[in-house]
Amino acid sequence: MTESHVTSFRQKEDVQLLRQQVSPPLDTPLTLLEAPLPRYPSFLLNDPSPKARGDVTVSFEIMPSGLVGTTRVVSGTGEDALHKPAIDAVRRWKFAPLLRNGEPARLVLQHTFRMEP
């Protein structure tokens, strides 16, 4: 399996997890158009400590346009330096425009990234 296949599979799983958080439902399923992954901090690549790896959970608002608005770290394990790449990645995500009952809608969702080299 190539890296692009693994990335594609992971993104499909991520979309399924995000869709489970949508309530009440949208007019059409939540569609993630672009989802760059976080870049692991290069200065931590050779750090053997357990704190150099961890999970980062990000809360983010999806605007009616499909762009991501407000973001914040809800929780994180490991170095604080792992938070910024997770936030930066989510800010670059793009969704199809959101409608609920024919009206523009906003959502607030959460996603957890596993940060490791």
Report residue 65 CA to chain centroid gap: 17
State the Cα–Cα distance between residues 5 and 14, nearest whole angstrom: 14
User: Tens digits of per-residue pLDDT, 17-76?
Assistant: 888 898 889 999 999 999 999 999 999 999 999 999 999 999 999 999 999 999 999 999
State residue 30's pLDDT score.
93
User: Residue 6 pLDDT > 50, yes or no?
Assistant: no
Walk me through the domains of the chain, giving residue ranges and CATH numbers. Answer: 3-115 (3.30.2420.10)
State residue 13's pLDDT score.
82
Predicted TM-score (pTM) of this structure: 0.85
Q: At 98, is the pLDDT very low, low, confident or very high (cuts 50, 70, 90)?
A: very high
